[in-house]
Structure 1
Amino acid sequence: MKIEIRIPSPGESITEVEIANWLVDDNSWVEKDQEIAEVESEKATLPLLASHSGVVSIKVQSGAIKVGDVACTIDTEAQKPESTETPTDTTPQPEPKSEPKTQPQAAPQPQQESSPVKVTPLARKLMDEQGVSVEDIIKGLKKITTHEVNAALGEGGFAEPKQEPADRAEERTTMSQLRKKLSQRLVAVKNETAMLTTFNEVDMSRIMAMRKEYQKDFQEKHGVKLGFMSFFTKAVVEALKQHPMVNSQIDGDEIVTPNYFDIGIAVQTPKGLMVPVLRNAESLSMAQIEKGILDLAEKGRKGRIGLDDLAGGTFTITNGGIFGSMLSTPIINPPQSGILGMHNIIERPVAVNGKVEIRPMMYIALSYDHRIIDGKDSVGFLIKVKEMLENPERILAAGVNPDRLLLGI
């Protein structure tokens, strides 16, 4: 019995996907629930699973295919092969190697192949036309060009050889569905929002000292490394609580302000930039944040970020510093209204209590939709993030100076 494997719907409003890669060969045996192909939509890459065991027959090798169309069939009545290695085991390896050695070939070919001298394609063509070999031209050279060939055959007999052109080949690849959608969204953001960016800088001394002092204990207890992203996520959440408009978004004629904080973490994957979401980040510990980010990054590398991982999100953090970026203006991830950009850490001279000191500094950038976020909120939000990163203990006190909290002032 032949079972049809149809393209499932990856999400609402998606009618066409792209078969990115077949993980099995045509007419090969597959097991039930085995991943047989990667299906790429405009939002995510999803696996196509075999519903039954049997021999697969691929109907669409690659390219675009509509949701619901047949990608392949599986013959459930076919016999499973006992072993695919027996033919190679019974084939003696020395035989194919001995055949070309005993077969007599034309003399020039083995001489040219065994020669240590490299010959360019144009020079080889000219030598073949004139009926000469490498030994006839010159010995001891590591490379022969048309200039040496003409020089050896004598001046005047041939035209001056043209200079060999550099490799100017072009490669054209079809844009993936995910890349198409990403490009459309980026252009839409620039055209449909009043995007503005404000900047500040953070002294990372305290955080770096904490990571150095407690990294071993943190890793032993939680099984994950203590990174920078958990500090930033915690600081962002506390700052959003004090500036809720930065956590808001426009829906028609209404402004929607969630009382929860789903933080998108921009992840670079082989398929492009994706923004999976950490749900309810306000209730997560530092270790849970680090584990969540690690899990999302691993999914991204394997191409297994699903629609559920990408849906929603109230604010986004992106880290261009891992690629060496000193400063940038991140683009908002719609329908969100704000995104925080992290950058690389560079030791720079700064003024501290009237003295010049070398400190590890990072520029941070907040891009926001000026239609609903005013300058006061945007600047105030970024300052709160800066204060909590430079004084991490304030994260525990909702961004307030612990001394003032203790004194009740």
Structure 2
Amino acid sequence: MPKVPILMPQLGESIAEATILRLNIAVGDQVEQDQDLIEVETNKAVMDVPSVCAGDVLEIYAVEGESYAVGTVLGVLQVTEEELDRTGEQCMDATEAQPLPKNGDSSEANEDATLHFKTDGGGYHEPKPVEPNVKGLPVPAGKGGAHYISPRMRARMMELGLRAADISAISGSGGGGRVTVEDLENFLEYIETWPHTKASPMRLAVADAMRRSWSRPLATVARPLVMDKILDHRRGQDPKPGPALYILRALALALAENPTTAGYLIGESVVHPRSFDIGVAVQVEDGVLVPIIRNADSKRLKDLVEEYHEMVSLARARKLPEEATQHGIATVTNFGTFGLTWGTPIPLPNETLILGLSAGVKRPVWSEQAGAFIPVTEAEIDLTFDHRVVDGGGAGMLLNRISELLQKPEDL
């Protein structure tokens, strides 16, 4: 009977691989067309690999917890000739590439993607590096003094799948504090017996994005925000907008008034946004996802509530489609949900701005009208920005304008 491969599908334009979370099938199972066979995790979402046709599960090569490239044979279905004709799928033949070995086999394809330290023989495994697919605008770091990495050191780091940030904990013995290959080998031997875990695709993606974000000169300004009018307005809404949605809407309106503050510096040009698509940071297991609210400046607050809640729910379930996380111009993050009263959020590498909201705290504030201190709920809004594009004065004026807009929540 014909055999049809179960392949790791192309799960998104920039996704090169995925990690197996759960196998929903076993050898001998009968499956239907479009039945979810395997649950996989990319650096952005959790997705299912469906069956391309009906048949019996003949082989399973995928191993839970392992990462496989797009196009990898994860298993094999045995199907009838009639099913093959009906679906138009192609059967496997002897000339196809060999599938990955089963769990327990020794193969480079099944090696752990994390750094392997010394083996019993005293040597090093060459790792299979995982390259997170996070798009951005990286800026090369300078090469001088202690930051200089020799060609020999760079070659050794490439063998081990290390980046410059990974050796920041090592005290260099070379000229100007430069880290040498010997320093690296001694450090790896020192931490050889320390407990370590494999970084998830999500954690690698966040680490890669933050490394590239920090290659720019970032600065943060902040100011207090009286929340009482927002909270009063929110009580009368059904469904209720989240506090972050008020901030997101005010940010979109303020940027629409002055788009230069959300521009990108590319060479000698500042590229201005053509639409005001604002992301909202959502905490998920071992990372953060940022769904994008499109054209947030042209939609009223009440019209954004349903879309906002749907995006946040999809993000928490790791079910966001890839296009829902792309091409934002700024992000809003409500770190106040963790009880934090201040913070310095870091913008994504393809964004110039991120606006953070802290937890609200009851404070006495002097009222000229009442001639006395009155209790108000006050939070802090923090704006981190690319200082190449925006100066402190411009960032401060943007933050003040956002605060003004939030004092009239009925107009948002």
| TM superposition score normalised by structure 2 | 0.67
How far off its partner does 1:206 sit?
Answer: 0.9
Match in the other structure for 2:284: 269
Report the counterpart of residue 208 of structure 2 in structure 1: 184
Q: Is the 8 A contact 1:243 1:377 kept in 2?
A: no
C-alpha displacement of 1:19 = 1.8
Within 5 Å, which residues of 2 pair with 1:150-169?
none
Deviations 1:145-204 (A, max 9, x none): xxxxxxxxxxxxxxxxxxxxxxxx9964311222112112112211x1110000011111
| Residue 79 (structure 2) pairs with residue 76 (structure 1) | yes
Distance between the aligned counterparts of 2:80 and 2:373, measured in 1? 79
> Residue 45 of structure 2 corresponds to which residue in structure 1?
44
Deviation at 1:38, TM superposition (A): 2.4
Q: For 1:180, what is the secondary structure of its paired residue?
A: helix
* Aligned residue in 2 for 1:358: 375
Q: 1:294-338: CA deviations, max 9, x gaps?
A: 111221222211211111101100111111111100001121100
Post-superposition offset of 1:29: 2.8
CA contact (8 A) 1:340 1:364 kept: yes
CA 1:298–1:13 in 2, change beyond 3 Å: closer, same or farther? closer
Are the equivalent residues in 1 in contact too, given 2:23–2:39 (CA < 8 A)? yes
1:209 aligns with 2:232: yes
Aligned ranges 1:111-126 → 2 under 5 Å: none
Q: Deviations over 1:202-233 (max 9, x none)?
A: 11111111222x23xxx2xxxx3333233222
Aligned residue number for residue 266 of structure 2: 251
Using the alignment, how far apart are the partners of 2:76 and 2:39 within structure 1? 16
Instruction: Give the 3-state SS of the residue equivalent to 2:39 in structure 1.
Output: strand
Residue 15 of structure 1: how far off its partner (Å): 3.2
Q: Which amino acid aligns with 1:325?
A: L
Instruction: Tell me: CA distance 1:287–1:49, structure 2 relative to 1, closer, same or farther (3 Å).
Output: farther
Q: Which residue of 2 aligns with 1:34?
A: 35
Q: Is the 8 A contact 1:263 1:281 kept in 2?
A: yes
Q: Over residues 236-289 of structure 1, what are the superposed CA-to-partner deviations in whole Å (9 max), with x where a residue is unaligned?
A: 111112231222123344321113100011111225201111111122232332
Change (3 A) 1:319 1:26: farther
The one-character-per-residue Cα deviations of 1:352-398 (angstroms, maximum 9, x if unpaired) are: 21421110111110000000111221000000111111232554xxx
Cα separation, partners in 2 of 1:287 and 1:14, compared to 1, 3 Å: same
Residue equivalent to 1:108:
none
Q: Shift of the alpha carbon at 1:77?
A: 4.0
Partner of 1:119: none
Shift, 1:12, TM fit: 4.2
Larger helix percent:
1
Cα pair distance change 1:26/1:248, threshold 3 Å: farther
Letter in 2 for 1:197: T
Secondary structure of 1:289's match? helix
Partner of 2:387: 370
Scaled by the length of structure 1, what TM-score is found?
Answer: 0.68
Instruction: Describe the shift of the 1:356–1:9 C-alpha distance in structure 2 as closer, same or farther (beyond 3 A).
Output: same
Q: Confirm or deny that 1:174 pairs with 2:176.
A: no
2:9 aligns to what SS in structure 1? Answer: coil
2:44–2:318 Cα contact (<8 Å) kept: no
- Alignment match, 2:403: 386
SS in 2 for 1:32: coil
Q: Do the aligned residues in 2 keep the contact of 1:20 with 1:39 (CA within 8 Å)?
A: yes
Partner residue in 2 for 1:343:
358
Residue 87 of structure 2: aligned partner: none
Q: Secondary structure at the match of 2:204?
A: helix
Partners of 1:391 and 1:243 in 2: how far apart? 19
The residue correspondences of 1:198-347 to structure 2 (distance < 5 A) are: 198-212=221-235, 214-215=236-237, 219=238, 224-347=239-362
Q: Is the 8 A contact 1:339 1:367 kept in 2?
A: yes
Query: 8 Å contact 1:197–1:365 — kept in the other structure?
Result: yes
Q: Of 165, 173, 195, which aligns to 2:218? A: 195
